[in-house]
């Protein structure tokens, strides 16, 4: 039964967001509910368990469809490939205690969701909670809407006007009831809950069914062993979940209860606990260190924040207040990518505040609880996004194959036992027993321990994974995006030189380090003030570029100074003064009045500074091309472009400097960024050297040898990035480099793409997919980097991103495909075997191979090599057992009725001592021993062969090179395997009457036992030979693919294949715009083969 979206029954939740869901309305029906309860009782809870696994069935059977407005139950479905369902109950909350009349709710809230959610005259609010987020029913738009956030439609001026004075008590109380407390509450889950949740896993329910069946068949030993393995698996899983729950609880609990100061409308300042905060509250930030308990928009003053908890960067970040722009654009749209410069994030630490002329530093609460940036991070851990739909789909197909296999075996078993006249109960038990064999009992334990072992190996290398299911995808990576500065190159920058400009001409270059200091002038002042540095814990902290630049002046920061300005009163400002080693300066110091922090979108930063006793000036630094465009043309040297190309082509990082004088009468706080950053005077170029890290080139060479494409994604200049890419080996010396520049066409929504040959410097227009061929992507903002990764993924690349703080490339977890199928074959051949601790639990102890290979593990669970390996090993095992079953019947000592015909001495001894042994079947003569149907030469032969064959399968499937180290390096696995083999051989050759009798074995001649060892040896040799000569023979599979003209289904491989057939590629002297129609596989896109990456890792 599926969903048929109808009017008002269906809607979308969080449309366009990552956690987008479809929501359906249902109403509980009493008679259906009563029938289901009766079904729960009659099925002994089985129906309830089924509904626990399939919540959509629960809703469909218990409820009837209705509009969302009438619904008391909603069914949610994710919009990803998995389409996971969840069931939520609608609740009602009352706000009547806070709203006695309409006058109690101000008119300013009419456009707010907090007003639109209140049903009149009942004053009730309809709400649901999904993944820790509260949603309320919007009475006007007839849909559920998220609360706990400040609506996005507010403009900059509206935020200042509506929330600049704070909320009233009534407004605050109503919002608190709807939003819930401002806490990121992650309680430690009780062990009994974790245990129940784990035990109710379908795997373990099936295990319980299997164990009960085996006990009924008196198969005690095997059942006890499986119980032990299952308990071990459950214990490991519960222990790991409990440990993670405790860690997460400790991580977030410290920020849940902080004393804060808020401003109440008409009531002044008020101290309260942070969990009372609601969106729209006006937060007062006092001097000193403060932990942020929510996300907030800075509306006055300036802050310096430590965001290391969220970003991993220890560099302090400067936050400036939201401008009071009088426009109709929502504030996020107006601020574009720079909106983060105005937002203080939950969990970060304010280490310094600077008030402006408006008094104290204020911030409007933007988001609370799990809606905050920190809350979103915690939710991503609590509710990880499912990964690898292809593996999930293949696993379902494989399971269907197992069910079909079990069904065939079940039908055969029923027919055989029914024809032999067995009792109905025995027939049922034997038929069900076949089903228990289809799903290997060791699978849950093997999956759990495999992930845990892998996480531990990664942790030892300093790699932490918050989403363990992503580990299985790491072996499929075929493209890695690298940031440049701090990742491929060293974290710090070294000043190389300064190229000043005066009167439209570049002057002599000033090299660093130099015997003489920089001369006093505008360039010197720019280096001294154009930064966002602070003094924190006695040290100058900030961006490494700013630190190096400021240290070159030998000045110091006096961060405790107050600045007195006429008409503004006293404000906190940063003052820089000459240090002890500084050259003589004609000023006492320079005060930094205002900062416009660096913007990745604008590619520049600027400050307003004033010499003590002088006039204010503006200083700007940023990307040279950007700075030059903002300067007056007469101040920019005519050879600007050639000089810039000269230094960037050598791999230097180049920064442009500029300045302008400001009118003394206008206060700095009243100036906009556009006014400050216009009509500038060009000052020169600051040249900085950024060296490659020692590990960069070897790592990139290893990736290249493994046919893993490397791409550089940087915000730096394209020429600098190309030089670094060449030095690092990402671009070979023999390769031709083509520059591609995207430009917005004036007066049009289209964009043009221009291609330039780097060597010839001629403009050529090409048609291509840049993603398929680009190696260096420069001048990329953070959001563009994220978009680039997503676009690569759309081409079916498996992408890894390596940026600052994530430079460890040593983690190479192994693919689990062989591992899963190994467990399955183990289960298929284990029928009538002694219970062993499955070696599959120990395979994960084998470490990763120290070198990457130029192809990937199979990405599909049912890929031809894996499937063929499973089928062939199953056939080998089956053939050996059938051969032993048939050949034993041809032996001269074989007897179907006398199980002691092979060992007469043992037979006589058993007859004479039957009364003393008291063994079943022996006490009343030899004939009765054959009546139980278990003790026979066939069963003894097949059992011994299949038991040792399990060890053969374990050894054959425990592959080493190329993805793992040789299996003999896994000492625990080898010791267990040798121990189990020793026990098997002991059982085969030990003539211990009591042991054989208890295990329903019979004595066979020594020659036959040696023959069985020979059969096993032949099987082992054939299995190894086939695995090495066929399954692991990569040239053979590539030949087969070429013979049958198999082509990869990956989008990027198909594009490459199409362009190889395009004789007209590349087109010359053509211009392409964003609204042009290009060619693809389907006829609307295009691309060509990238000479720097020609992978042959197609999945087999």
Contact 930, 899 (CB under 8 A): yes
Question: In angstroms, how far is the first alpha carbon of the chain from the final one?
Answer: 36
For residue 1019, the surrounding DSSP H or E stretch is helix 1006-1026
Whether omega before 827 lies within 30 degrees of 0, making that bond cis, reads no
The stretch 164-184 carries a mean pLDDT of: 86
Burial (0-12, 13-18, 19+ Cβ within 10 Å), 328? exposed
Is the separation of the CB atoms in 812 and 475 below 8 Å? yes
Least-confidence region, from 217-221, 751-755, 1049-1053: 751-755
Question: Which region among 17-31, 537-551, 669-683 has the lowest average model confidence (pLDDT)?
Answer: 537-551
Question: pLDDT at residue 820 above 50?
Answer: no
pLDDT: is 519 or 581 the higher one?
519
Q: pLDDT at position 443, please?
A: 65
Which tokens go with 435? Answer: 């089903």
What's the CA gap between 319 and 338, in Å, rounded?
Answer: 10
Q: Does position 570 have pLDDT exceeding 70, yes or no? A: no
CB-CB neighbours of 143 under 10 Å = 16
Position 744 confidence tier, pLDDT thresholds 50, 70, 90 = low
The pLDDT value recorded for residue 38 is 93
Distance in angstroms (rounded) separating the CA atoms of residues 619 and 879: 84
Task: In whole angstroms, give the CA distance from residue 948 to residue 830.
Answer: 10
CA atoms in the 13 A half-sphere facing the CB of 719: 21
Q: Which residues are catalytic?
A: 483
Task: Answer whether 1017's CB lies under 8 Å from 981's CB.
Answer: no
The residue length of the chain stands at 1100
Better-predicted residue by pLDDT, 583 or 873:
873
pLDDT at res. 931? 42
Predicted confidence (pLDDT) per residue in 235-265, tens digit: 888 888 888 888 888 878 777 788 888 888 8
Q: What is the DSSP string of 114-142?
A: HHHT-BTTTTEEEEEEETTEEEEEETTTT
CA atoms within 13 A on the CB side of 532: 25
CA distance 715 to 696: 19
**Position 881 pLDDT exceeds 60:** yes
What tens digit of pLDDT does each residue of 1006-1029 get?
899 999 999 999 999 999 899 888
What is the Cα–Cα distance from 715 to 699, expressed in whole angstroms?
22
Residues 140-156 have pLDDT tens digits of 888 898 988 888 888 88
Mean pLDDT on 303-320? 77
What is the per-residue pLDDT for 691? 81
Per-residue three-class SS string for 393-454: HHHHHHHHHHHHHHHHHHHHHHHHHHHCCCCHHHHHHHHHHHHHHHCCCCHHHHHHHHHHHH
> Could you tell me the two tokens for 315?
């560099």
Say what angle helices 817-828 and 443-460 make with each other, to 10 degrees: 150
Mean pLDDT calculated for residue range 511-521: 75
How far apart are the C-alpha atoms of 213 and 446, rounded to whole Å?
A: 22
Confidence band of 521 (pLDDT split at 50, 70, 90): confident
Is pLDDT at 888 greater than 80 in this prediction?
A: yes
| Structure-block tokens of residue 420 | 């032999």
Per DSSP (E only), the strands in 268-382 are 268-273, 282-285, 290-291, 295-300, 302-306, 317-320, 343-344, 349-354, 361-367
Which stretches within 706-828 are classed as H helix? 718-728, 770-773, 782-794, 817-828
Spatial contact of 316 and 541, defined as CB atoms under 8 Å apart? yes
pLDDT at 1094 over 70: no
pLDDT value of position 109: 57
Residue 1097 has pLDDT above 60, yes or no: no
- State the average pLDDT for the chain: 77
Rg (CA), the chain: 37
Q: What is residue 247's three-state secondary structure? A: helix
Q: What pLDDT does 25 receive? A: 92
Pairwise CA distance, residues 673 & 598, whole Å: 12
> Which one, of 493, 492, 482, lies nearest residue 803 by Cα?
482
How many Å is the maximal CA-CA distance in the chain?
Answer: 123
Residue 827: band (very low, low, confident or very high) from pLDDT cuts 50, 70, 90: very low
Alpha carbons 771 and 452: distance in angstroms, whole number: 36
Q: Tell me the per-residue pLDDT of 522-536, one tens digit each, with 9 for 90 and over.
A: 898 999 899 888 887
Work out the average pLDDT over 57-67.
91
Confidence of residue 437 (pLDDT cuts 50, 70, 90): confident
Question: Which pLDDT belongs to residue 806?
Answer: 29
Strand partners, 269: 263
Closest by Cα among 538, 165, 610 to 351:
538
Is pLDDT of 325 > 80?
A: no
Span of 701-715, 772-786, 924-938 with lowest mean pLDDT: 924-938
Assign 760 a pLDDT band (cuts: 50, 70, 90). Answer: very low
User: Which pLDDT score is estimated for 392?
Assistant: 62
Task: Please give the residue that has the higher pLDDT: either 1025 or 340.
Answer: 1025
**What backbone torsions phi and psi does residue 562 show, to the nearest 5 degrees?**
-105, 150
- At residue 236, φ and ψ (nearest 5 deg) are -65, -45
Do 88 and 124 meet the contact criterion of CB atoms below 8 Å apart? no
Nearest C-alpha neighbor of 435 from the set 207, 200, 201, 204: 207
- 811-830 b/e with 16+ CB inside 10 Å = b? bbbbbbbbbbbbbbbbbbbb
The whole-number pLDDT of residue 37 equals 92
Q: Rounded to 10 degrees, what is the CA torsion of 959, 962, 968, 971?
A: -90
Contacts (Cβ under 8 Å, ≥6 apart) of 1082: none
- Return the closest-CA partner of residue 1048 out of 711, 853, 795: 795
φ and ψ at residue 327, rounded to 5 degrees: -145, 175
In terms of pLDDT, which residue wins out, 324 or 757?
324
β 763-764/751-757 pair status: antiparallel
Question: What angle (nearest 5°) sits at the alpha carbon of residue 1053, between those of residues 1047 and 1058?
Answer: 80
Residue 358 scores a pLDDT above 60: yes
Confidence (pLDDT) at 762: 40
Q: Does the structure show a pLDDT above 70 at 178?
A: yes
If pLDDT is split at 50, 70 and 90, which confidence band does 631 have? very high
Peptide bond into 1066 cis (omega under 30): yes
Mean pLDDT across the stretch 1048-1073? 63
* Position with higher pLDDT, 221 vs 533: 533
Which of 297, 288, 285, 301 shows the shortest CA–CA distance to 351? 288
pLDDT of residue 376: 85
Task: Assess whether pLDDT exceeds 60 at residue 756.
Answer: no
Tell me the mean pLDDT in the region 1082-1097. 35
How far is residue 1086's CA from residue 1058's CA, in Å, rounded to a whole number?
Answer: 8
- Comparing 770 with 804, the larger pLDDT belongs to 770
Query: How many whole angstroms separate alpha carbon 48 and alpha carbon 61?
Result: 12
Q: What percent of the chain stands above pLDDT 90? A: 10
Q: Decide: 309 and 292 in contact? Cβ < 8 Å.
A: no
Encode pLDDT of 377-436 as tens digits.
Answer: 888 878 877 666 566 677 677 777 777 877 888 888 888 888 887 788 888 888 888 777
Q: Which pLDDT value is given to residue 36?
A: 92
Tell me the torsion sign for CA atoms 272, 273, 279, 285: positive
Quick check: bond before 513 cis, omega within 30?
yes
- What is the C-alpha separation between 1082 and 676, in angstroms, rounded? 50
Residues 811 and 471 sit within 8 Å (Cβ to Cβ): no
**Can you say whether residue 964 is alpha, beta or left, with left for phi > 0 and alpha for psi between -120 and 50 degrees?**
beta
Least confident of 453-457, 624-628, 874-878: 453-457
């Amino acid at each position: 039964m599926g969903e048929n979206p109808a009017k008002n029954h269906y809607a979308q939740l969080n449309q366009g967001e990552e956690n987008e869901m479809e929501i359906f309305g249902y109403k509980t029906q009493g008679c259906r509910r009563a029938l289901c309860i009766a079904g729960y009782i009659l099925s002994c809870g089985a129906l309830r368990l089924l509904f626990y696994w399939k919540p959509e069935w629960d809703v469909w059977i218990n409820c009837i469809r209705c509009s969302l407005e009438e619904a008391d139950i909603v069914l949610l479905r994710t919009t990803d490939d998995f389409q996971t369902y969840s069931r939520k109950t609608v609740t009602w909350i009352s706000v009547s205690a806070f709203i006695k009349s309409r006058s109690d709710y101000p008119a300013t809230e009419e456009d707010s969701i907090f007003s639109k959610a209140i049903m009149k005259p009942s004053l009730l609010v309809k709400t649901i909670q999904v993944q820790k987020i509260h949603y309320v029913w919007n009475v006007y738009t007839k849909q559920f809407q998220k609360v706990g956030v400040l609506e996005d439609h507010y403009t900059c001026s509206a935020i200042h006007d509506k929330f600049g004075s704070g909320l009233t008590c009534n407004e605050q109380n109503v919002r608190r009831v709807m939003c819930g407390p401002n806490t990121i509450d992650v309680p430690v889950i009780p062990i009994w809950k974790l245990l129940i949740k784990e035990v109710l896993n379908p795997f373990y329910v099936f295990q319980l069914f299997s164990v009960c069946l085996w006990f009924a068949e008196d198969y005690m030993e095997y059942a006890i062993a499986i119980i032990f393995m299952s308990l071990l698996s459950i214990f490991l899983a519960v222990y790991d979940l409990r440990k993670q729950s405790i860690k997460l609880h400790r991580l977030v609990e410290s920020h849940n209860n902080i004393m804060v100061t808020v401003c109440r409308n008409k009531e002044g300042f008020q101290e309260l606990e942070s969990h009372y905060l609601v969106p729209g509250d006006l937060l007062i930030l006092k001097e000193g260190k403060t932990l942020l308990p929510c996300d907030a928009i800075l509306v006055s003053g300036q802050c310096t924040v430590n965001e290391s908890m969220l970003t991993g960067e220890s560099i302090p970040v400067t936050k400036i207040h939201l401008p009071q722009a009088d426009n109709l654009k929502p504030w996020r749209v107006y601020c574009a990518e720079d909106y983060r410069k105005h937002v203080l994030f939950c969990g970060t630490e304010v280490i310094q505040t600077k008030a402006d002329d408006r008094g104290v530093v204020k911030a409007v609460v933007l988001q609370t609880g799990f809606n905050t940036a920190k809350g979103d991070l915690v939710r991503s851990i609590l509710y990880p996004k499912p990964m690898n739909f292809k593996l999930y789909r293949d696993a379902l197909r494989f399971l269907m194959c197992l069910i079909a296999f079990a069904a065939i075996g079940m039908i055969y078993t029923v027919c055989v036992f029914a024809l032999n006249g067995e009792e109905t109960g025995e027939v049922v038990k034997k038929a069900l027993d076949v089903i228990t064999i289809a799903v290997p009992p060791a699978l849950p334990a093997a999956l759990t321990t495999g992930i845990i072992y892998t996480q531990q190996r990664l942790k030892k290398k300093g790699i932490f994974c918050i989403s363990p299911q992503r580990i299985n995808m790491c072996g499929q990576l075929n493209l890695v995006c690298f940031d440049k500065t701090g990742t491929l190159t060293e974290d710090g920058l070294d000043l190389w030189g300064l190229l000043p400009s005066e009167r439209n001409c570049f002057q002599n270059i000033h090299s660093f380090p130099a015997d003489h200091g920089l001369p006093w002038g505008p360039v010197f002042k720019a280096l001294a003030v154009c930064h966002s540095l602070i003094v924190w814990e006695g040290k100058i902290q900030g961006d490494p570029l700013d630190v190096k630049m400021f240290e070159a002046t030998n000045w110091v920061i006096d961060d405790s100074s107050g600045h007195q300005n006429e008409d503004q009163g006293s404000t906190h400002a940063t003052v820089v003064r000459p240090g002890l080693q500084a050259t003589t300066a004609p000023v006492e110091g320079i005060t930094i009045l205002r900062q416009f922090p660096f913007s990745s979108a604008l590619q520049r930063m600027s400050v307003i500074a004033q010499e003590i006793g002088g006039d204010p000036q503006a200083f700007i630094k940023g990307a040279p091309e950007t700075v030059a465009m903002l300067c007056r043309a007469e101040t920019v040297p005519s050879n600007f472009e050639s000089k810039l190309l000269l230094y960037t082509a050598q791999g230097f990082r180049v920064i442009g400097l500029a300045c302008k004088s400001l009118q003394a009468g206008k206060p700095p706080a009243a100036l906009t960024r556009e006014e400050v950053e216009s009509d500038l005077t060009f000052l020169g170029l600051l040249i900085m050297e950024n060296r490659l890290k020692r590990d960069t080139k070897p790592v990139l060479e290893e990736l290249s040898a493994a046919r893993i494409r490397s791409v550089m994604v940087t915000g730096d200049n394209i020429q600098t990035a190309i030089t670094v890419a060449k030095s690092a080996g990402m671009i070979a010396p023999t390769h031709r480099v083509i520059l591609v520049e995207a430009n917005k066409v004036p007066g049009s929504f289209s964009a043009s793409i221009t291609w330039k040959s780097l060597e010839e410097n001629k403009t050529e227009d090409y048609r291509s997919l840049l993603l398929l061929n680009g190696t260096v992507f420069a001048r990329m903002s953070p959001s563009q980097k994220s978009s680039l990764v997503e676009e690569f993924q759309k081409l079916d690349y498996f992408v890894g991103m390596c940026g600052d703080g994530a430079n460890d490339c040593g983690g190479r977890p192994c693919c689990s495909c062989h591992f899963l199928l190994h467990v399955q074959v183990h289960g298929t051949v284990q029928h009538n075997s002694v219970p062993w601790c499955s070696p599959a639990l120990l395979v994960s102890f084998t470490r990763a191979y120290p070198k990457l290979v130029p192809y990937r593990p199979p990405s599909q669970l049912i890929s031809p090599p894996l499937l063929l390996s499973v089928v062939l090993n199953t056939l080998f095992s089956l053939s050996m057992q059938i051969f032993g079953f048939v050949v034993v019947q041809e032996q001269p000592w074989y007897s179907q009725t006398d199980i002691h015909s092979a060992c007469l001495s043992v037979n006589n001894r058993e007859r004479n001592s039957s009364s003393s042994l008291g063994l079943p079947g022996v006490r009343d003569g030899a004939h009765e021993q054959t009546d139980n149907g278990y003790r026979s030469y066939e069963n003894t032969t097949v059992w011994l062969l299949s038991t040792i064959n399990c060890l053969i399968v374990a050894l054959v499937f425990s592959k080493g090179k190329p993805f793992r180290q040789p299996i003999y390096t896994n000492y625990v696995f080898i010791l267990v395997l040798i121990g189990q083999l020793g026990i098997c051989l002991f059982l085969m050759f030990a003539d211990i009457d009591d042991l054989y009798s208890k295990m329903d074995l019979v004595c066979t001649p020594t020659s036959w036992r040696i023959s069985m060892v020979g059969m096993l040896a032949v099987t082992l040799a054939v299995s190894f030979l086939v695995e090495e000569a066929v399954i692991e023979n990569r040239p053979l599979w590539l030949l087969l693919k070429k013979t049958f003209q198999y082509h990869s289904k990956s989008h990027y491989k198909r594009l490459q294949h199409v362009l190889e057939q395009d004789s007209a590629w590349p087109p010359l002297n053509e211009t392409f715009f964003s609204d042009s129609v290009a060619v693809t596989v389907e006829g609307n896109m295009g691309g060509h083969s990238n000479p720097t990456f020609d992978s042959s890792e197609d999945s087999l």
